[in-house]
Amino acid sequence: MDNIQSAIDIKGGSLFNQAEVYFDDLFLKKLPPLPAQVRDILVKLAPFWAICMIAFAVIQIVFGSLAVLLGLLGTLLSIATLSGSSVIRSVLGVVQSIVGLALGALILIYLARSLRGLFDRKAAGWQALFRAEVVSLIYTVFSWAMTILISVMSLSGLGAIMGIGSSIVALPIWLILFGLGFYLLFQIKDMYARENA
C-alpha cells in the first residue's frame, strides 16, 4: 500500500503542487479571509469532516463495485442481442465505473492518511486532505464528461437531450461546491503550517 502511495505521490506531485500554487493565489490573495473564530472552528471540525468523507468514499467504492458487475452483465446482454449502441453505452459505463473505483480508492487512501495529521494539526494532514479534494474534483469532472458521452452515444433522442441537459445544469453546481470546499480548506492552511513551525 505504501509503495502504491509513494508512486502516486511522485507522479502526481507536480499536479498537486501546481494546483496548490494556483489555489493559494486564488483563495488566499484574491478572496477575503474568514474571521479567526470561524477558522478555529473549521480546524476543529476538519478531522470529523474527513471521517464523513471516508464513510462516503467507502459507500462509493461498494456501489461502484456493484456498478461494474452490473455493467459487465449489461455489456454481455448487449453483445448477445447484437445491439451496437447498447454495447457502446455499456462499455462506457463499465469504463466510468472502473475509473471511478480507482479514483475512489485513491481518495480513500488520502483521507485515511489525513486523519492523524488533522487531529495533530500537522501540515501533512492538510496536504493529504487537499490531495483528496483535488482527486475528488478530477473524479467529478471525469464522471460528468462520461455522462455526457454516454448520453450522446445512447442515440435515444429525448433521453439524450435530458441527460445532456441535466449534466450541463449539474456542472456549475458541482464547481461552486468544490470552489467553496477549496476556499474553506485554504482558509485553514496556515493554521496547520503554524502548528509545525
Give the mean pLDDT of 49-73: 84
Among 41-45, 59-63, 126-130, the minimum mean pLDDT is found in: 59-63
pLDDT in tens, 17-38: 888 888 888 887 888 888 889 9
According to the model, what pLDDT value does residue 11 have? 55
pLDDT in tens, 79-94: 666 566 667 777 787 8
CA distance 24 to 189: 9
CA distance 94 to 102: 12
Q: What is the DSSP string of 23-64?
A: HIIIIIISSPPPPHHHHHHHHHHHHHHHHHHHHHHHHHHHHH
- Of 88 and 50, more confident: 50
According to the model, what pLDDT value does residue 107 have? 92
At residue 57, does pLDDT exceed 80?
yes
According to the model, what pLDDT value does residue 196 have? 46
- The three three-digit cell numbers of residue 17, written as one number: 503542487
Burial of 125 (0-12, 13-18, 19+ CB in 10 A): buried
According to the model, what pLDDT value does residue 149 have? 82
